[in-house]
Amino acid sequence: EQDGDRDAAAAIAAGVEDPAVAEFIVHWCLNERGAAKLLSLEPGLQQRVLAEFAPPPHVTHVSERLFQFCVAVSKRAAEEQDWSQAAGNHAATSAHPAPPRGSNVVGSGRMSSDGHASKRQRTGATDNGSAVVTGNESLFKEFLEHWGLNEDSEKKLRSLSPSLQQRVIASFEAPQVAGDPNGKFIMYCVRMAKEHPEENREQDGDRDAAAAIAAGVEDPAVAEFIVHWCLNERGATKLLSLEPELQQQVLAEFAPPAHA
């Protein structure tokens, strides 16, 4: 299906109750695939798409870009909901403010008479950054600041998958002695990655995830390639790091065996 057929878009829009959505379909000359994806969204997400969708002028496959954008919006909304729930849990369990660095308040409880800190759970969730946190970044930052973690610790946390980031944020407890928690935290991330490898492994074959990545790619041919091969973030990032000429060479020559 080709973009640019205004009569076909008008025929699709004729069956749409919301006049704003119908106008949007005609304005962008959406084909059936793009329009169907838009109409599959909840009304609130439809309005977000109508407000935020703005493809670059040179994009020719507008319907495909719209499809990818809808996928990304849906995924972001789900992540925001997870973050909202996590923030509610965090607010419910946060009885004490974050301890100042270097004080004798360690972790989330004050030092008791025997020198041990009381334990308090912290909960959170993540996805965009490096692995990538795309939800409530402020909650992610709050976790780092709460424990006084440095850039190395942040880099290590962001290198984990979103589900494993959430596990670490929810379960980490600082050493029960005063001191720098960063070494402990980095080793904790390493241990969690080893104990839960299934949570820290990006899986190929997730078309929606590939579409979400492709939504931020300007070159429609490269975006289509990412979706076609269901590339994960690691593969797509490597492709996008190449010079345009090399990207085109990859697009033209990449042909993995059928059993791969």
What would the mean pLDDT of 120-139 be, rounded to a whole number? 42
pLDDT digits (tens, 9 = 90+) for 196-244: 876 665 444 567 778 888 888 888 889 888 888 888 888 888 899 898 8
Using 50, 70 and 90 to split pLDDT, how confident is the model at 260?
low
Alpha helices in the chain (DSSP H): 6-13, 19-27, 32-39, 43-52, 62-93, 137-147, 151-158, 162-171, 182-195, 207-214, 220-228, 233-240, 244-253
Taking each helix axis from N to C end, the angle separating 233-240 and 244-253, rounded to the nearest 10 degrees, works out to 130
Average pLDDT, the chain: 74
Q: What pLDDT band is residue 161 in, cutting at 50, 70 and 90?
A: confident
The mean pLDDT of 95-99, rounded to a whole number, is: 46
Residue indicated by tokens 């104990």:
195
pTM for this model (two decimals): 0.38
Which is higher by pLDDT, 228 or 90?
A: 228
